[in-house]
């Protein structure tokens, strides 16, 4: 597969040229970006998927929700509806997308909305008196200009070592990082040392005014169903099926293997809409563990007594107070 993708390099040059031209037109203000008077924070990436945008959005909601009327805006990937939709929490994932529904379930007091047209969506949220807007996966959406851009790159797949699509997984040139105010290396090992952090810092080659942070995935000690919570240790003596429909399930798989758990892994594409035959097959399994994002797509179709998810959250490695200060000062001054 890697050799085949290398053969696609000429197409990457073409794609790179197109995206560079588009970015230059926005940078020179030939194409217009809308600016806003209220705090708009964008969380995005250069790579296609798998960098941990959803946990980072949740991290920011937790940080801000007690003091501000926080709104999240996503495109609602693969949803069946169109236009602007403000979630009540009673929708299905098929109607509004899995990640927005996950946000609303976790933060019922937040305004959670979907709109593929970010400019239109922001206008709607301003009318609903949002005080802070968090844009999920909008780094390449140049029609709007966020006041603060947070760019994520995965520890095992740094943008500095990748190529532009289709030979690689970059949505645009590595030079796009210059638009970021903050860069976070996600999914790091918890024992990452100062020397390795410095090596990554050099590889990313950020400007002096850009802030760099490192984070890891923290897994909960309990697994959760619609009706119950049990400790993860409960699975030590059980056989179960792990179901994932996310871009990069490897960290979760490795975590469960490190726990010496006995499971089969059924891997599906990111944001997968499960077909009837797949649901029937899963319904025959005794115990199913899945991700929180997959759970919102499966919970209406499988028994709550057999379907559980393992919550995760992003945690920063050192400099947490500095990160909080960067976010809070931006929101206050804006």
Does the residue 174 lie in any domain?
Answer: yes
Does the residue 250 lie in any domain?
Answer: yes
**Taking residues 61-73, what's their average pLDDT?**
98
**Taking residues 243-271, what's their average pLDDT?**
95
How many angstroms separate the CA atoms of 263 and 271, rounded?
22
Does the residue 117 lie in any domain?
Answer: no
Please, are residues 43 and 60 in contact by the beta-carbon 8 Å criterion?
A: yes
Q: What is the pLDDT of residues 99-138, one digit of tens each?
A: 999 999 999 999 999 999 999 999 999 999 999 999 999 9
Among the listed residues 182, 166, 167, the one whose alpha carbon sits nearest the alpha carbon of residue 45: 182
**What pLDDT was estimated at residue 111?**
98
- Same structural domain, 54 and 166: yes
Domain containing residue 41 = 2-68+131-218+315-333
Number of domains present in the structure of the chain: 2
- Same structural domain, 281 and 152: no
Tell whether the model's pLDDT for residue 1 goes beyond 80: no
**Taking residues 81-98, what's their average pLDDT?**
96
The count of other CB atoms within 10 Å of the CB of residue 93 is 25
- Same structural domain, 302 and 280: yes
**What pLDDT was estimated at residue 102?**
96
Does the residue 103 lie in any domain?
Answer: no
Please, are residues 174 and 205 in contact by the beta-carbon 8 Å criterion?
A: no
Rg (CA), the chain: 20
What stretches of the chain adopt beta strand conformation (E)?
A: 40-45, 70-74, 85-86, 111-114, 132-136, 148-154, 182-186, 211-219, 222-224, 229-231, 239-244, 262-267, 288-290, 307-309, 312-316
- Same structural domain, 180 and 283: no
Q: What is the pLDDT of residues 6-58, one digit of tens each?
A: 788 899 999 999 999 999 999 999 999 999 999 999 999 999 978 999 999 99
**Taking residues 185-207, what's their average pLDDT?**
96
Q: What is the pLDDT of residues 124-173, one digit of tens each?
A: 999 999 999 999 999 999 999 999 999 999 999 999 999 999 999 999 99
- Same structural domain, 166 and 286: no
In degrees and rounded to multiples of 5, residue 234 shows phi and psi of -55, -30
- Same structural domain, 7 and 142: yes
CATH number of 54's domain: 3.40.50
Give the DSSP H/E element, type plus range, for residue 287.
none
Q: Is the dihedral of CA 285, 287, 290, 292 positive or negative?
A: positive
CATH number of 302's domain: 3.40.190
- Same structural domain, 140 and 162: yes
- Same structural domain, 12 and 143: yes
**What pLDDT was estimated at residue 237?**
85
What is the average pLDDT score of the chain?
95
- Same structural domain, 275 and 214: no
Provide the whole-model pTM: 0.95
- Same structural domain, 274 and 327: no
**What pLDDT was estimated at residue 7?**
84
Does the residue 188 lie in any domain?
Answer: yes
**Taking residues 265-283, what's their average pLDDT?**
94
Tell whether the model's pLDDT for residue 264 goes beyond 90: yes
**What pLDDT was estimated at residue 2?**
64
Please name the residues in contact with 262: beta carbons below 8 A apart, sequence gap of 6 or more: 238, 239, 240
- Same structural domain, 170 and 258: no
């Amino acid at each position: 597969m890697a050799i085949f993708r290398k053969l696609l390099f000429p197409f990457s040059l073409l794609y790179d040229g197109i995206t560079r031209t588009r970015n230059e037109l926005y940078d020179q203000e030939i194409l217009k970006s809308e600016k806003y008077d209220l705090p708009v924070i964008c969380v995005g990436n250069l790579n296609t998927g798998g960098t941990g945008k959803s946990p980072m959005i949740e991290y920011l909601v937790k940080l801000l929700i007690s003091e501000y009327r926080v709104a999240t805006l996503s495109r609602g990937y693969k949803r069946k509806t169109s236009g602007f939709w403000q979630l009540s929490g009673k929708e299905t994932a098929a109607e509004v997308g899995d990640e927005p529904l996950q946000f609303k379930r976790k933060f019922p007091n937040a305004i959670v909305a979907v709109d593929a047209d970010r400019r239109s969506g922001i206008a709607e949220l301003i009318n609903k008196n949002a005080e802070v807007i968090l844009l999920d996966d909008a780094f390449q959406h140049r029609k709007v200009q966020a006041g603060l851009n947070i760019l994520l790159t995965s520890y095992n797949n740094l943008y500095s070592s990748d190529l532009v699509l289709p030979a690689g997984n970059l949505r645009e040139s590595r030079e796009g990082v210059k638009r970021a105010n903050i860069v976070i290396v996600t999914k790091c090992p918890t024992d990452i040392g100062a020397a390795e952090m410095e090596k990554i810092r050099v590889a990313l080659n950020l400007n002096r005014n850009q802030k760099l942070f490192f984070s890891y995935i923290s897994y909960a000690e309990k697994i959760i169903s619609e009706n119950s919570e049990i400790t993860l240790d409960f699975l030590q003596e059980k056989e179960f099926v792990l179901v994932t429909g996310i871009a990069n399930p490897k960290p979760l798989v490795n975590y469960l293997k490190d726990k010496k758990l006995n499971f089969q892994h059924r891997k599906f594409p990111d944001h997968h809409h499960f077909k009837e035959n797949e649901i029937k097959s899963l319904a025959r399994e005794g115990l199913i563990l899945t991700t929180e994002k997959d759970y919102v797509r499966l919970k209406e179709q499988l028994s709550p007594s057999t379907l559980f998810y393992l919550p995760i959250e992003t945690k920063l490695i050192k400099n947490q107070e500095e990160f909080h200060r960067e976010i809070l000062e931006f929101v206050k001054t804006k």
